[in-house]
Homo-oligomer: A and B are copies of this chain.
Amino acid sequence: MSLAIGSLSEFLFGHAPRPVSCGRGLELGKGTVIPEINFTLPAMDIDEATWPEVRRLYAEMIEGVCKRAAELEAPGLLVEFETLPAMTIRPEWGREIVEILATCLHGYYEKHGLKNALRVTPNDTRDFLSPSHMRDGQYWEAMAQLFEMSAAAGADLLSIESTGGKEVCDEALRFGDLRQTIFGLAILGARDMEFLWKHLVGVCSKANIVPAGDSACAFGNTAMVLADQKFIPRVLAAVIRVASVPRSLVAYRMGAAGPSKDCAYEGPYLKAIAGVPISMEGRSSACAHLTHVGNIAQAVCDAWSNESVQQVRLLSAYAPIVSLEQLVYDCRLMNTAAAGSREDAIRLRDWLVESDAALDPQAWVLRPDVVLRIAERIATEPTPYLQTRVAARCAIEEIASAHREGRLRVSPQEIRWIAKIEREVAQLPGQESEFIDEMLATPVAEKFLPGEYGIESVASR
C-alpha cells in the first residue's frame, strides 16, 4: 500500500486526494474547508415525559445554527447528530431527531442555498452489557436498526465512535500499560471495526449515502484528557494516538469514504494513507475538552468542528450558535489564504503547525512531516497489529529524537517514560497469534468475550 499523499506540499487543508460529495451540494476535500457543527442537550432527563421537550430543543438548535450559517454565508455546513444512549436503545427516538434535523437542513438549502449534509453518529451502546456483546443481543440489534432508520429518515453520512476493545483499554490507560492498550486497539478494536464497518458500508450502499468514518475517541481522547489532567504522561498519550491509526484505518479498507470523525485526531494519518477528507477539531472544541493541539489539529483538515456543545445560553446566544460562528470565521481565514496560492495555504498550515508542535509530544506527532514519515511505515505493514506495532515504535522514536535535538520539549518527569515506552514497544511479539495467546492467559481475558471479536477462546483451540 502506498500513501495517497506523496509529498508535504500536497498535504493541505481543504484538499484531499479522494474528495466526497454528500447531502445537498456539499463537497469535502475539493478545495474549501467546511464547518462541522455538533450540539447536544443541556442537563435533563430523557423519558416519555420530556420527549416533546427534547424534540423542541433539537428543532431549536438546528434552526439556530442554520440561521446563523446562512447569515454568515458559510461555504457549506456539515451537521453531526451524535445520539444519546436512550436514542440508540430506542431507535425510534433517534429516528425522530434525524427527521427533525433533515427537514430543517432541506429547508435551508432550498430557501437560502445553504449547502449542507447531515452526519448521523449512533452512540455505541454495546458495552451496556458487561462483558459486551458486540455482534448480537438487544443493544446490537437496536443500534443496527438505528443505522437503517437514520439512512431512511434523512442521514447523508453515517459514522460511529465504536468502542470495541474499550473493555481492555480503560484499565490499561489507568495503569499506563501500553501493551494492553495495543491489544485493545489492534487486536480487539481492529476486529470489531472490520465487522462493524462491513455492516455499515452495506447499509450505506443500499441507501446510497456516505459511510463516513470512525474515531478512536474512547482510546486516544481518553488518553489525551487524562494527560491534560496530568494523570498520565503526554508522551504516552502521543504514542497511543499514533497507535490508534491502524484501527481507524480499517473503516476505509472496508469501504468508508470520509470525512473522518472530528474527534479522530488521528485524522491526518488517515488522510495521508487513505486519501479521504478529514474532519478535525482543536481550539474550536475547547467547549468539549481542553487541548494541547488547538492549532496544529487544524493544519490539514477538510471539515473543522466544535466536537460538541450543550444548548446552554451564553450572553450572546445559545452555545451551538457561538460555536458555529467561530467555525465559520476559522474557515473563512483558511479559505481566504488558500484562495491566494498554494504557497499561501502552506504558509498558514505551517504557522498552525509551528505554533503548537514544540510544546507537546501530542502536537509533535501531528506535524505533517512526522505524519508522512510514520504513515509510510504503517502503510508497508500487512495487518492492523503489525501496523500498530510499527506506529507505536515510530511515534516514540520521533518523539525521542525530536527531544534529543531540542526541537520538542518533554517535561522532566516524562523523560523516564520515553525509555519505558521504547522498552515496551520493543517487547511486542512479532506474531499476532502469540500476542493473543499470551493475553488470553492473563486476567485481561476476563474482561471480554473472545467470540465477540471472532477470536477462538483458548479452550476451543
A295-B329, A330-B283, A355-B336 in contact; A290/B317 too (CB < 8 A)? yes
Q: Is A337's CB within 8 Å of the partner chain B?
A: yes
A287-B314, A289-B316 in contact; A282/B354 too (CB < 8 A)? no
Inter-chain contact B287/A332, CB cutoff 8 Å: no
Q: Is A407's CB within 8 Å of the partner chain B?
A: no
A73-B359, A308-B315, A310-B314 in contact; A290/B333 too (CB < 8 A)? no
Inter-chain contact A315/B325, CB cutoff 8 Å: no
Q: Is A356's CB within 8 Å of the partner chain B?
A: yes
Q: With the chains together, A394 CA to B182 CA distance in Å?
A: 66
Residue of B nearest to A322 (CB): B286
Inter-chain contact A315/B322, CB cutoff 8 Å: no
A208 to chain B, nearest CB (A): 34
Q: Please, which residues of chain B bring their CB within 8 A of the CB of A344?
A: 347, 351
Inter-chain contact B321/A333, CB cutoff 8 Å: no
Q: Is A426's CB within 8 Å of the partner chain B?
A: no
Q: Is A256's CB within 8 Å of the partner chain B?
A: no
Interface residues of A in 295-327 (CB under 8 A from B): 295, 308-310, 312-317, 319, 321-322, 325-326
Inter-chain contact B333/A352, CB cutoff 8 Å: yes
Inter-chain contact A309/B319, CB cutoff 8 Å: no
Inter-chain contact B308/A288, CB cutoff 8 Å: no
Q: Please, which residues of chain B bring their CB within 8 A of the CB of A312?
A: 312-314
Inter-chain contact A325/B355, CB cutoff 8 Å: no
Q: Is A68's CB within 8 Å of the partner chain B?
A: yes
Q: Please, which residues of chain B bring their CB within 8 A of the CB of A352?
A: 333
* Residue in contact with A329 in the complex, picked from B294, B313, B316, B337, CB distance below 8 Å: B294
Inter-chain contact B333/A355, CB cutoff 8 Å: yes
Q: Please, which residues of chain B bring their CB within 8 A of the CB of A326?
A: 283-284, 286, 294, 326
Q: How many copies does the complex hold?
A: 2
Q: With the chains together, A286 CA to B308 CA distance in Å?
A: 16
Q: With the chains together, A316 CA to B40 CA distance in Å?
A: 13
Q: Please, which residues of chain B bring their CB within 8 A of the CB of A313?
A: 312
A169 to chain B, nearest CB (A): 21
Inter-chain contact A314/B295, CB cutoff 8 Å: no
Q: With the chains together, A110 CA to B314 CA distance in Å?
A: 33
A442 to chain B, nearest CB (A): 35
Q: Is A348's CB within 8 Å of the partner chain B?
A: yes
Inter-chain contact A319/B314, CB cutoff 8 Å: yes
Residue of B nearest to A312 (CB): B312
Inter-chain contact B287/A316, CB cutoff 8 Å: yes
Inter-chain contact B351/A336, CB cutoff 8 Å: yes
User: Could you give, for residues 265-305 of chain A, a 1 whenever the CB lies within 8 Å of some chain B CB and a 0 otherwise?
Assistant: 00000000000000000111011111110110000000000
Instruction: Give the B-binding residues of A (Cβ under 8 A).
Output: 40, 68, 72-73, 282-284, 286-292, 294-295, 308-310, 312-317, 319, 321-322, 325-326, 328-330, 332-333, 335-337, 340, 344, 347-348, 351-352, 354-356, 359
